[in-house]
Chains A and B, each alone.
Chain A
Amino acid sequence: MVRIHHIAIAWVAAATLAACGGGGSDTTPRTEVTQLKVMGDSLADVGTFGIKFTLQGADIYPERIAQSYGLSKGCNFYRFTGQTFAANPTPGCLNFAIGGGVINGASSNLNAADPRIISVQLATAVAAGNHRPGDLLLIVGGGNDAAALVTAYLRAGQPAPAGDGGAAYAALLGTQLSAAQVGAAVSGGANGLATAGGQYMTALANTFFDQIKAQALDKGAQRVALLNMPGITNTPRFQAVLAGIGAAAGSAARTQSEALFKGWVEAFNKQLATRASGNSAVALVDFYTSFNDQVANPAQYALTNVTVPACPVTGVGADRLPTYTFPTCSAATLGAAVPPTGAVGAGWWESWAFSDGFHPTPYGHQLLAQLISRTLAQAGWL
C-alpha cells in the first residue's frame, strides 16, 4: 500500500502544478492599430449633424471597431453649420463620414469639393500628411449612390409630372458611362435602360476603387477595411417602394424590379471584389451577403423584426414614404412610448434590425461590427 500512497502523492502534486496560470481574456490585437480613420456615409457618421443615424446615445459600428482596439470611439471631423460643412474645432477627430455621403457627387448634384463625396473625405484625410503604418481605414460607400440610381430609374417609368421620360436617369448614367453607352441604353428601350444600370454600377465601383487607391493606398495606407454595398432593397424604405410597384403594376413587376436592383448592387460588388482582390492592404467586408443573411435568417442573429423601423413615423415625405426623426428617437423615448404592434418586452428594439426606413438599429450596428471584425481577423489585423 506504500506504493499506492506514492501514486496518490504524485497525483496531487501534478494536480497542484496543473492549476497554474492562464484564464480570462487576451485583449491584445495581433496588429497594433493606433488610429482609426473613417470615410463614408450616414452608416458611419458619428455626429456631423449633431446626431447619429440610428437611436441616439448608442454606439454605431465605427465606434465599436475603435473600442475593439482599445481606442476612443472617435469623433466627427466635419460639423454641419446649417448651411455648409466646416471642420470640427475639436482636435484629433478622424471620422470623416457624413450622412448623405456618396461616391459619385453628380448623383446628388454636389459640387466637386463637397465633403459628402467620399473621395473628398479621402483627400482631406491625407491633406496634412500620408497615412501611417498604425492607421486602420474603414470605408463605406455606395448605398446612397444605388438609391439615387434606383430613384432616377423609377422616375423614367412614371407618368408626368413625376416622370421625366428618363432624362434624369440618362443624365446620371452619363456621369459614369460614355456618351455611346448612354445612347445605346436610351435607344435600347426598357431593356437597354435596365442593362445600363448594371454598367453604371460596375463603372461606379471602378471610380470608387480608383479614389481609394489614389487617396489612401498610394498615400501610405497599409490597412483598409472596405465595406461593399449593402442590398438596399432589403430596407423598409425600398420594400415600400417595391410594394408601390407591386400595387401599380402587379407582383411580377415587383419581383422583376427587385431582381434588377439587386443585380445592380451585385454588379458593383463584383467589380469592387475584382479590384480589391490580391491587394493585401485591402480587406473587403462582405456587407452585402451578411445583410441579406440577416434578413433571410433573422433568428440566427437573434433578430425578431427585419421589416419595420423601430423609430416612430413622424411624417410623410414628398415621395409619399414615411419619415422618421432621429433626434427624438432613443432607447429612452422608445422605452417611454407605447410599443408598436409585435414588439415584445422591455428593450424590444434591441432585436429589431432597422431604426428608420434605411438605417440599422444599434443592434444592427453591432452585427455589422461583428462582421467587420471577422474580416479584420481573417486579414490578421485583429
Chain B
Amino acid sequence: MKIHTPPAATLVLAGLCLTCTSGAFAQSAGSLLGRISGTQISHEKSDGALTPPIFADTRATVKDDTRPTAGLTYMVNDNIAIDVPLALGFKHDIEGAGAIEGVGKIGEVKAWPVTLMVQYRFFDASSPLRPYAGIGPTYAKFYKARSTLALTSLTGGNAANPTTLSVDSKFTFTVQAGLIWQVTPRFFVDAAVMKTPLKTRTTLSTGQTLDAKLDPVSVSVGVGMKF
C-alpha cells in the first residue's frame, strides 16, 4: 500500500485531509491515524506555599486552559499503537490563594506538554468501539512566564523594577485511558483522559520559591481519520 506524504502542516490538520487513501480496517497494523481535538488541562489545587519573605501561607492556583490540539497515531500491530499528541502550548493563568486570596491574577505561564504514548487498544482492529490504555514519557515545558503588577507590588517591586517569575520544566510520565469509536471505516471519534504526576518549582526574581504539585489532568475529545 502506498501512502501519500503530505507536508507537516497538512498532517497537523489531518482531519481536513481529503486526498488520503484508506485501508480495510482503520486501526489495523501499519495504519497512520490523525486527529484534531479539543483538550482541557486542569490542575490539582497547589499544595505549596511561597517561601519567605512574604505573608505566611501565600499560595497560588493554576487555572484551567482549553486549546485545540492534534495527534498522530501509528499502529505497530493491530493492538499496539504509538501516539504523539500535538499541541501548540497551553496558557495557564496563575491566581493568588491562601494569604493572597482575592488579589486575582498574579501571572501566567505557557505550558507545552511533549508526550509520546504507547497504547494498547483492546478488541480486534475491526471493532467499532475500542477502549485503550496508554503510558509514556512526558516533558512538561514551562516557558514565557509573565507576572502581573499585583505580584510585583506584593513582592516589593514597582513598575520600573518588576518582579518576574520562572517555572521549572520537568520530565515525568503520563498515563492515559481512552475510547475510540469508529464511525465509518475512515473516520473515528477519540476521547481520552490523561494524568501526569508533576511537581515543579516556581522561582521569583525576588528569591522566593513555590514548590507545587500540579498533577495535571487532561481531557481530550476529537475526531480523526485514517490516511
- Whether A and B are associated in the same complex: the answer reads yes
Interface residues of A (CB under 8 A from B): 2-4, 6-7, 9-15, 17-19, 21-30, 64, 67-70, 290, 293, 297, 299-303, 366-367, 369-371, 373-374, 376-378, 380, 382
CB contacts (< 8 Å) of B91 on chain A: these are 22
CB < 8 Å neighbour of B88 from A18, A366, A373, A380: A18
B119 interface contact, C-beta 8 A:
no
Would you give 24 A-B contacts (Cβ < 8 Å), ordered by A? A2-B3, A2-B5, A3-B74, A6-B11, A7-B84, A9-B8, A10-B70, A11-B86, A13-B9, A17-B88, A17-B89, A18-B89, A23-B146, A25-B148, A25-B152, A68-B152, A68-B153, A293-B56, A297-B56, A302-B53, A374-B103, A377-B153, A377-B154, A382-B150
Interface residues of B (CB under 8 A from A): 3, 5, 7-9, 11-12, 32, 52-56, 70, 72, 74, 84, 86-89, 91, 96, 99-100, 102-104, 108, 110, 112, 114, 141, 143-150, 152-156, 158-160, 162-164
CB < 8 Å neighbour of B159 from A14, A18, A23, A67: A67
Find out whether the CB atom of A377 lies under 8 angstroms from the CB atom of B72.
no
Find out whether the CB atom of B146 lies under 8 angstroms from the CB atom of A26.
yes
CB contacts (< 8 Å) of B12 on chain A: these are 10, 13-14
Find out whether the CB atom of B5 lies under 8 angstroms from the CB atom of A6.
yes
Determine the residue in chain B with the shortest Cβ distance to A293: B56
Determine the residue in chain A with the shortest Cβ distance to B207: A302
6 cross-chain pairs, A with B, having the tightest CB-CB distances, nearest first? A22-B144, A373-B153, A302-B53, A25-B162, A377-B103, A67-B158
CB contacts (< 8 Å) of A382 on chain B: these are 149-150, 153
- The CA-CA distance from A371 to B99 in the complex, in Å, is 11
Find out whether the CB atom of A13 lies under 8 angstroms from the CB atom of B159.
no
Determine the residue in chain A with the shortest Cβ distance to B86: A14
Find out whether the CB atom of A10 lies under 8 angstroms from the CB atom of B56.
no
Find out whether the CB atom of B52 lies under 8 angstroms from the CB atom of A299.
yes
Shortest distance from the beta carbon of B216 to any chain A beta carbon, whole Å:
16
CB contacts (< 8 Å) of B7 on chain A: these are 9
Determine the residue in chain B with the shortest Cβ distance to A2: B5
Determine the residue in chain B with the shortest Cβ distance to A28: B149
CB contacts (< 8 Å) of A376 on chain B: these are 153
Shortest distance from the beta carbon of B82 to any chain A beta carbon, whole Å:
8
